[in-house]
Amino acid sequence: MNLILMGCPGAGKGTQSAKLKETLNLKHISTGDVLRAQMAAGTELGKQVAALINQGNLVPDGLMISMLQNIISTTDQGVILDGFPRTVAQAQALDDMMKRLGRQISAVVMIDLPQEEVVKRLSSRRLCKKCGKPAATATQAACECGGELYVRGDDAPQSVKHRLEVYRQQTLPVKEYYQHSGKYVEINGNQTPDQVFEDICNVLKKVK
Ligand code: AP5
Ligand code: MG
């Protein structure tokens, strides 16, 4: 099974991917996580993309497409794509890639969330430097795994506002790209993480 998990910033793509990869034995590919790891390691690529990401802009298509191509062509496992494709050009490139590899997208799951909820979630998000998971409460000093907590550079209010605008302009057309493919489903993201997970699993039961 190969899934695309779509949704605006803060919709819960990372949270649901962590649950789904265990249940379905899939490889979780978050292009945002890959880019942040490059930034943390101080690589040339990391330096190149840091300003774009922190301001809430997209990294150029060419770079993202070759990054995904490298990851996907070296894994035989089914995948969850979290944060890719984010433009119609990326969606078209993904179609070509999958065709060449003899694979198929099984479902495109859109997690819907109202904008007010996005702002609320992202203004209080703190992530673990060690395991990458969001902190479960607003008051805890460190992650359950012992790792230090940090705030993402692009979770600053101005960047969140811009990310939402970029999402509307560049990523919503991707929804239209998949909407009539017979693989597209929408899930209400404004529920507890467990309820969202249950809804996704119910939808996936009907997918081969
Ligand atoms: P990326 O890392 O993909 O960020 P994003 O799409 O903005 O989404 P987030 O990771 O912020 O949110 P999420 O949906 O994963 O939610 P989460 O589960 O964490 O991309 C970052 C940047 O990288 C982009 O802006 C761009 O610059 C670049 N980039 C990446 N991919 C690219 C591409 N393909 N092309 C070009 N550029 C690219 O949840 C959010 C918070 O809410 C957490 O605190 C969580 O605990 C909480 N939460 C989750 N679910 C619930 C729930 N049901 N109820 C209550 N709280 C919840
Ligand atoms: Mg994420």
To test the pocket of ligand 1, the residue of 4, 6, 15 to mutate (highest count of ligand atoms within 8 Å of its CB) is: 15
152 is catalytic: yes
Report CA torsion sign: 66, 67, 68, 73: positive
**8 ligand 1 Cβ < 6 A:** no
Rounded to the nearest integer, the mean pLDDT of the chain is 96
Counting from 1 in the atom list of ligand 1, the atom nearest the Cα of 190 is 53
126 is catalytic: no
Label residue 208 by pLDDT band (50, 70, 90): low
To test the pocket of ligand 1, the residue of 17, 28, 120, 121 to mutate (highest count of ligand atoms within 8 Å of its CB) is: 121
203, burial (CB in 10 Å: exposed 0-12, middle 13-18, buried 19+): middle
CA distance 5 to 36: 19
CA distance 31 to 63: 11
Per-residue pLDDT, 132: 87
What is the residue with the minimal CA distance to atom 1 of ligand 1?
Answer: 32
H helices of 31-171, in order, are: 31-41, 44-55, 61-72, 88-101, 115-123, 157-166
CA distance 151 to 123: 9
Percent above pLDDT 90 for the chain: 94
Label residue 138 by pLDDT band (50, 70, 90): confident
Counting from 1 in the atom list of ligand 1, the atom nearest the Cα of 163 is 25
Ligand 1: centre distance to CA 11 (Å): 7
pTM of structure: 0.97
* Catalytic residue of the set 13, 21, 36, 121: 13
Most confident option among 142-146, 190-194, 204-208: 190-194
